[in-house]
Amino acid sequence: MIGKLTGRLEYRSSDHVLIDVRGVGYIVYCSERTMAALPGVGEAVALYTDMVVREDLMQLYGFPSLVEKEWHRLLTSVQGVGAKVSLAILGALGPDGVSRAIALGDWAAVKAAKGVGPKTAQRIVLDLKDKAPGVMAMGGTVADAMDGPGLDVVEPADPVEPAKKPRKAPPKQPSGAAAASAGALSALGNLGYGPSDAAAAVAEAAATYPDANEAELIRAALRLLAPKG
């Protein structure tokens, strides 16, 4: 299986690119969001990939982070959701938006993606609701959740020279919002709240107060979790 490609961007279309890796060209399909973030033709690029092999098909799908690749894997595990629909959802919402929508049970946000009907959107939210807390707990926001040191893979636009080792991206520090959300989730878990309830409360609190620190997020989430009436 091919899990990652690093090479030179040879060609780009509306939904796929051709990456030259030491003289071998790989066609990789990407979401609109990923396509927009890729460098220009002739520049260095790297993508995490998921390979689909069937009797009549063999295709690669590319992602700028491991966590986006993981969301693609989870989305395509839902009945009726193929790679095309998954890429449409990730392109419309991004991995952060997918995590937030699923944690909050916001199937209408998922339905906003092209080709996703209400029944499919509801099924996605129901089937994956228990998955969002684990992703959020790894880094607060999905973009930081699985991008540890050196895992940024859309690389600088330097020519690819086989004789030289590829440059490693500098360590990435989690954002303040990421750390605050992760800390709030951990605190709520220690207080005995279930992962799904805690994730939904933190996601809603973070959306309402995007600049809140950990303590403020915890207080806001606790207010949301408090018994009504």
The tens digit of pLDDT for each residue in 20-37 reads 999 999 999 999 999 999
Residue 49 within any structural domain of the chain: yes
CATH number, domain of 215, equals 1.10.8.10
Q: Residue 97 in contact with residue 143, Cβ under 8 Å?
A: no
Q: Which residues of the chain have pLDDT under 50?
A: 139-160, 162-166, 168-174
d(CA 83, CA 86): 5
Same-domain check for residues 82 and 128? yes
Per-residue model confidence (pLDDT) at position 29: 96
Is the same domain home to 133 and 187? Answer: no
| Predicted pLDDT of residue 173 | 43
Range of the domain at 22: 4-63
pLDDT of residue 176: 61
Q: Give the domain CATH number at 81.
A: 1.10.150.20
Using DSSP's 3-state secondary structure scheme, residue 127 falls into helix
35 and 72 share a domain?
A: no
pLDDT for 151 equals: 40
Print burial letters for 66-100: b (CB count within 10 Å at least 16), e (below 16). bbbbbbbebbbebeebebebbbbbbbbbbbbbbbb
Does residue 156 form part of some domain?
no
What integer pLDDT is reported at residue 112 of this predicted model?
Answer: 92
Instruction: Please check whether residue 192 lies inside any domain of the structure.
Output: yes
Asked whether residue 110 falls in the same domain as residue 51, the answer is no
- Same domain, yes or no, for 59 and 71? no
**Number of domains observed in the structure of the chain:** 3
Same domain, 125 and 189: no
H or E element in which residue 45 lies: strand 44-54
Whether residue 159 lies inside any domain: the answer is no
pLDDT, tens only, 215-224: 888 888 898 8
pTM: 0.70
